[in-house]
């Protein structure tokens, strides 16, 4: 036998690789992956979480897509060893509190959006340019990208530091979507949802010169109505001890009555991954949770914050658009979500019941409704908190009399005569009037 071993080369073709990479990701998600990189740059650049002066600017139209930022830039070494690789190397340095996780977002966005891309990035000490025609790159056997320009050990001013990505020769479907006003409006909404906390801390994000404004994260509180708060730090991921613990903070209470805004909001490293969730994911309509969401619960607000220096331990999906329901961290916290939510739901049910009784004339006023009307709006981070949600003083509810039904049958002509004599219009009223007459005169 020959010592020469025959091997089969099983590398994927670049066409197949690109197709598999982009097939399941919507255009908006691909764009948000690019914004994630800029946001991570801001987090690394300003570790004190004050992002005043930092900006991310997006220009999107039928001809091109461009995103620019002044969020610190990418070092040449980082670009060479990590940023342009497909997947995150195991030795890649962690960016504390980052939201980039798998190392595919930037390249996937390039392929999803167009056929040509150019990346220019400047830090305080280096600068590089990488540009590629994707169709030409697919025909090369090498899985590499080349620097057009590299400058190391250079000095740049603060105003020059940042990254600029330009994607041209857009795919036809992408060009059509970026030319639609409705698509741009939806993109603005998605970005506002995802980065509200970062925007609130001073990071400026704009699309086609329109600056985004943060969505409010508020509670209504007073001396009588406070916010329930739970905190815990996890040092284990399942049975595995981790060096980068996960901090969890939960808040539950009431806010303005808005049907589409009630529910749980979940953040991972300040990136919103669930907005106003009203599904089984956060316990609504489950056997061991609380009832299905409906109009009486439109006052409810819950905010959950998961933070870790290593984003791999956070309970989010790979697309960062939902919760990984099987995450051991999330499984551990589900009961706490229920414990915080249940008293608020009970309060809202009792308040709705009192208001209904007022309308029926059974009680003169609803003390719970009055307590709610005396609240004022406060940010989730500034609201008064307590370990549990305490229900204020309730209205005294009178005991309801036990009632029964009386049935009897009489000739139609006699009933019609009684209706005329009693001046009523229904058989039911005949029965009630004759019963009341008997009790009044014979009882």
Q: Which of 211, 236, 253 is the last residue of a domain?
A: 211
Domain hosting 420: range is 412-442
- Cα separation, 74 vs 37, whole angstroms: 10
CATH code for the domain of 273: 3.30.230
In this prediction, residue 69 carries a pLDDT of: 97
In this prediction, residue 168 carries a pLDDT of: 97
Same domain, 28 and 114: yes
Whether 101 has a pLDDT exceeding 90, the answer reads: no
The verdict on residue 128 lying in a domain is: yes
Contact 75, 107 (CB under 8 A): no
CATH code for the domain of 131: 3.30.565.10
Distance from the Cα of residue 10 to its chain's centroid: 40
Contact 285, 334 (CB under 8 A): no
The verdict on residue 7 lying in a domain is: no
Same domain, 203 and 235: no
Same domain, 367 and 223: yes
- Cα separation, 176 vs 185, whole angstroms: 14
Same domain, 178 and 90: yes
At 128-169, the pLDDT tens digits run 999 999 999 999 888 889 999 999 887 766 668 999 999 999
Same domain, 30 and 146: yes
Buried-state track 84-110, b at ≥16 Cβ within 10 A, e below 16: bbeebeeeeeebebbbbbebbbbbbbb
In this prediction, residue 239 carries a pLDDT of: 87
- Could you tell me the sign of the dihedral formed by the alpha carbons of 283, 289, 292, 298, in that order? negative
Q: Which of 195, 211, 227 is the last residue of a domain?
A: 211
Same domain, 356 and 253: yes
Q: Taking all residues of the chain, what is their mean pLDDT, rounded to a whole number?
A: 90
In this prediction, residue 400 carries a pLDDT of: 67
Distance from the Cα of residue 20 to its chain's centroid: 27
Same domain, 265 and 358: yes
Distance from the Cα of residue 373 to its chain's centroid: 28
In this prediction, residue 205 carries a pLDDT of: 98
What domain count does the chain have? Answer: 3
The verdict on residue 2 lying in a domain is: no
At 45-96, the pLDDT tens digits run 887 778 999 999 999 999 999 999 999 999 998 888 888 887 766 665 666 7
Whether 102 has a pLDDT exceeding 70, the answer reads: no
Whether 4 has a pLDDT exceeding 90, the answer reads: no
The verdict on residue 176 lying in a domain is: yes
The verdict on residue 9 lying in a domain is: no
Same domain, 80 and 228: no
Q: What would the mean pLDDT of 401-428 be, rounded to a whole number?
A: 84
The verdict on residue 1 lying in a domain is: no
Same domain, 63 and 152: yes
Q: Which two tokens stand for residue 293?
A: 């969401």
Q: Is the pTM of this model over 0.95?
A: no
The verdict on residue 226 lying in a domain is: yes
Buried-state track 401-426, b at ≥16 Cβ within 10 A, e below 16: eeeeeeeeeeeeeeeeebbeeeeeee
Q: Which of 189, 211, 233 is the last residue of a domain?
A: 211
Same domain, 194 and 240: no
Q: Exposed (0-12), middle (13-18) or buried (19+): which is 20, by Cβ within 10 Å?
A: exposed
- Cα separation, 228 vs 341, whole angstroms: 9
Same domain, 206 and 169: yes
The verdict on residue 3 lying in a domain is: no
Q: Highest mean pLDDT range out of 136-140, 257-261, 395-399?
A: 257-261
Same domain, 321 and 205: no
């Amino acid at each position: 036998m020959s010592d020469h071993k025959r091997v089969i080369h099983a590398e994927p073709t670049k066409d197949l690789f690109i197709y598999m990479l982009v097939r399941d990701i919507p255009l908006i998600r691909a764009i948000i992956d690019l914004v994630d990189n800029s946001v991570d740059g801001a987090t690394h650049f300003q570790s004190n979480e004050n992002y005043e002066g930092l900006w991310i600017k997006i220009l999107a139209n039928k001809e091109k897509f461009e995103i620019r930022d002044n969020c610190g830039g990418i070092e040449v070494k980082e670009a060479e060893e990590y940023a342009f690789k497909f997947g995150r190397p195991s030795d890649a340095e962690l960016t504390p509190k980052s939201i980039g996780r798998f190392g595919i977002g930037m390249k996937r966005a390039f392929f999803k959006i167009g056929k040509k891309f150019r990346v220019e990035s400047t830090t305080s000490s280096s600068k590089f340019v990488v540009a590629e025609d994707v169709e030409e790159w697919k025909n090369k056997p090498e899985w590499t990208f080349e620097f057009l320009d590299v400058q190391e050990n250079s000095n740049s001013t603060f105003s020059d530091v940042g990254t600029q990505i330009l994607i041209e020769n857009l795919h036809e479907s992408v060009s059509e979507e970026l030319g639609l006003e409705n698509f741009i409006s939806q993109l603005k909404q998605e970005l506002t949802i995802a980065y509200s906390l970062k925007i609130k801390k001073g990071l400026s994000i704009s699309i086609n010169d329109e600056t985004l404004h943060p969505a409010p994260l508020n509670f209504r509180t007073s001396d009588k109505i406070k916010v329930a708060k739970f905190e815990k730090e996890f040092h284990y991921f399942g049975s595995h001890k981790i060096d980068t613990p996960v901090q969890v903070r939960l808040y539950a209470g009431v806010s303005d009555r808005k049907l589409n805004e009630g529910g749980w909001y979940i953040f991972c490293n300040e990136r919103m991954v669930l907005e106003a969730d009203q599904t089984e994911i956060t316990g609504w309509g489950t056997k061991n949770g609380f009832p299905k969401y409906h109009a009486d619960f439109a006052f409810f607000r819950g905010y959950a914050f998961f933070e870790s220096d290593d984003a791999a331990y956070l309970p989010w999906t790979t697309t960062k658009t939902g919760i990984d329901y099987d995450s051991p961290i999330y499984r551990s916290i589900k009961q706490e979500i229920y414990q915080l939510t249940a008293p608020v739901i009970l309060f809202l049910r009792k308040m709705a019941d009192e208001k209904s009784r007022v309308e029926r004339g059974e009680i003169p006023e609803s003390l719970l409704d009055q307590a709610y009307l005396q609240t004022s709006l406060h940010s989730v981070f500034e609201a008064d908190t307590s370990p549990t949600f305490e229900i204020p003083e309730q209205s005294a509810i009178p005991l309801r009399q036990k009632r029964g039904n009386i049935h009897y049958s009489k000739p139609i002509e006699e009933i019609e005569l009684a209706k005329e004599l009693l001046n009523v219009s229904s058989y039911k009223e005949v029965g009630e009037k004759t019963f009341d007459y008997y009790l009044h005169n014979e009882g």
